[in-house]
Structure 1
Amino acid sequence: MKNEVKNEEVKNETGRAEKLNKKETGEKSKKLPFEVDRRSVYKCVQCGTCRSVCPVFDVVGWESANTRGRMLIIKSLIEGRPPSEDVLSSLASCTTCGICAAKCPAGANPPEVVEAARAQLVKCGVTTDAQEKLRSAVATSGNSFGETRSRLHWLSDSERSTLPEKSDYVYFVGCFDSYRYPEFAKKTFEVLQHFGVTLLPDEQCCSSPLLRTGFREDAEKIMEHNLEQIRNVGAHTLITGCAGCYTTLKNNYPEELRVISLPEFLAEHLEELNLKRLDLSVTYHDPCHLGRHNKVYDAPRKVIQAICNLKEMKNIKENSRCCGGGGGVRIGYPDISLELARNRLDDVPEGVDYIVTSCPLCVRNLRDAGGNIEIIDIIELVAMAMQ
Structure 2
Amino acid sequence: MQTNLSEQARLLRRAEEAESILRTCVHCGFCNATCPTYQLLGDELDGPRGRIYLIKQVLEGNPPTEKTQLHLDRCLSCRNCETTCPSGVDYHNLLDIGRSVVDAAVPRPLSQRLLRQGLRHVVPDAGLFKSLTRLGTTFRPLLPAGLKAKLPDSIPAPGVRPTPRHERRMLMLEGCVQPGLSPNTNAAAARVLDRLGISVTPVKEAGCCGAVDYHLDAQEAGLDRARRNIDAWWPALQNGAQTVIQTASGCGAFVKDYGHLLRDDPDYADKAAQVSARARDLVEVVRDEPLEQLGLQVDTRLAFHCPCTLQHAQKLGGEVERVLSRLGFHLTAVPDGHLCCGSAGTYSITQPELARRLRDNRMNALESGRPQVIATANIGCQTHLAGANRTPVRHWIELVDQALNNLSKPDPARSHS
TM-score range with shorter-chain normalisation? 0.7 to 0.9
Determine helix, strand or coil for the equivalent of 1:196: strand
RMSD of Structure 2 on Structure 1 (CA): 3.2
Within 2, Cα distance between the matches of 1:104 and 1:69?
Answer: 14
Alignment of 1:360-379 (within 5 A): 360-371=379-390, 373-379=391-397
Within 1, Cα distance between the matches of 2:227 and 2:161?
Answer: 27
Query: What is the deviation of 1:243?
Result: 0.6
Amino acid of the structure 1 residue aligned with 2:175: G
Within 1, Cα distance between the matches of 2:9 and 2:90?
Answer: 28
Amino acid of the structure 2 residue aligned with 1:224: R
Within 2, Cα distance between the matches of 1:45 and 1:186?
Answer: 47
Determine helix, strand or coil for the equivalent of 1:260: strand
Within 1, Cα distance between the matches of 2:351 and 2:248?
Answer: 22
Partner of 1:77: 58
Q: Is the 8 A contact 2:211 2:254 kept in 1?
A: yes
Within 2, Cα distance between the matches of 1:114 and 1:61?
Answer: 20
Q: Quick one: structure 1 residues 184 and 41, their matched pair in 2 at CA, closer, same or farther if it must change by over 3 Å?
A: same
Determine helix, strand or coil for the equivalent of 2:244: strand
Partner of 1:248: 254
Determine helix, strand or coil for the equivalent of 1:114: helix
Q: Quick one: structure 1 residues 143 and 337, their matched pair in 2 at CA, closer, same or farther if it must change by over 3 Å?
A: farther
- For residue 349 of structure 2, the aligned residue among 310, 320, 331 is 331
Query: What is the deviation of 1:163?
Result: 7.0
- For residue 355 of structure 1, the aligned residue among 357, 374, 378 is 374
Amino acid of the structure 2 residue aligned with 1:196: S
Q: Quick one: structure 1 residues 142 and 214, their matched pair in 2 at CA, closer, same or farther if it must change by over 3 Å?
A: farther
Partner of 1:170: 171
Q: Is the 8 A contact 2:161 2:190 kept in 1?
A: no
Q: Quick one: structure 1 residues 198 and 275, their matched pair in 2 at CA, closer, same or farther if it must change by over 3 Å?
A: farther
Kindly provide the CA deviation profile for residues 325-344 of structure 1, in whole angstroms up to 9, marking residues without a partner as x.
11542221011112111111
TM-score of the two chains, using structure 1 as the length reference: 0.79
TM-score of the two chains, using structure 2 as the length reference: 0.74
Q: Quick one: structure 1 residues 143 and 331, their matched pair in 2 at CA, closer, same or farther if it must change by over 3 Å?
A: farther
Amino acid of the structure 2 residue aligned with 1:292: H
Kindly provide the CA deviation profile for residues 259-301 of structure 1, in whole angstroms up to 9, marking residues without a partner as x.
1111222222343871421112212111111111111134312
Kindly provide the CA deviation profile for residues 45-94 of structure 1, in whole angstroms up to 9, marking residues without a partner as x.
33332222211122233332221221111011001122321111111111
Within 2, Cα distance between the matches of 1:115 and 1:275?
Answer: 46
Query: 346-355 or 96-105: which moved more?
Result: 346-355
1:288 aligns with 2:308: yes
Partner of 2:148: none
Query: What is the deviation of 1:370?
Result: 4.2
Query: What is the deviation of 1:214?
Result: 4.4
Amino acid of the structure 1 residue aligned with 2:347: V
Q: Quick one: structure 1 residues 99 and 123, their matched pair in 2 at CA, closer, same or farther if it must change by over 3 Å?
A: same
Q: Is the 8 A contact 2:174 2:207 kept in 1?
A: no
Query: 245-254 or 72-81: which moved more?
Result: 245-254
Kindly provide the CA deviation profile for residues 21-59 of structure 1, in whole angstroms up to 9, marking residues without a partner as x.
xxxxxxxxx999666412212333333322222111222
Query: What is the deviation of 1:302?
Result: 2.4
1:342 aligns with 2:360: yes
Determine helix, strand or coil for the equivalent of 2:311: coil
Q: Quick one: structure 1 residues 77 and 290, their matched pair in 2 at CA, closer, same or farther if it must change by over 3 Å?
A: same
- For residue 237 of structure 1, the aligned residue among 239, 243, 248 is 243
Within 2, Cα distance between the matches of 1:123 and 1:167?
Answer: 47
Higher RCO structure, 1 or 2 (CA under 8 Å, sep 6+): 1
Query: What is the deviation of 1:203?
Result: 2.4
1:206 aligns with 2:209: yes
Amino acid of the structure 2 residue aligned with 1:54: C
The structure whose Rg is larger is 2
Q: Quick one: structure 1 residues 155 and 92, their matched pair in 2 at CA, closer, same or farther if it must change by over 3 Å?
A: same
1:48 aligns with 2:29: yes
Determine helix, strand or coil for the equivalent of 2:201: coil
Determine helix, strand or coil for the equivalent of 2:279: strand
Q: Quick one: structure 1 residues 204 and 339, their matched pair in 2 at CA, closer, same or farther if it must change by over 3 Å?
A: same
Q: Quick one: structure 1 residues 53 and 354, their matched pair in 2 at CA, closer, same or farther if it must change by over 3 Å?
A: same
Alignment of 1:171-190 (within 5 A): 171-190=172-191
Alignment of 1:127-138 (within 5 A): 128-129=112-113, 130-137=115-122
Query: What is the deviation of 1:168?
Result: 4.1
Query: What is the deviation of 1:219?
Result: 1.3
- For residue 90 of structure 1, the aligned residue among 62, 71, 74 is 71
1:311 aligns with 2:332: yes
Determine helix, strand or coil for the equivalent of 1:289: helix
Kindly provide the CA deviation profile for residues 104-125 of structure 1, in whole angstroms up to 9, marking residues without a partner as x.
2333232221122123334447
Q: Is the 8 A contact 1:283 1:355 kept in 2?
A: yes
Q: Is the 8 A contact 2:123 2:176 kept in 1?
A: no
Within 2, Cα distance between the matches of 1:343 and 1:169?
Answer: 37
Within 2, Cα distance between the matches of 1:295 and 1:31?
Answer: 32
Within 1, Cα distance between the matches of 2:81 and 2:93?
Answer: 11
Within 2, Cα distance between the matches of 1:379 and 1:232?
Answer: 28
Kindly provide the CA deviation profile for residues 336-373 of structure 1, in whole angstroms up to 9, marking residues without a partner as x.
112111111232232322221111111111112343x2
Gaps of 5+ in 1: 1-29
Amino acid of the structure 2 residue aligned with 1:46: H
Determine helix, strand or coil for the equivalent of 1:338: helix
Q: Quick one: structure 1 residues 192 and 159, their matched pair in 2 at CA, closer, same or farther if it must change by over 3 Å?
A: closer
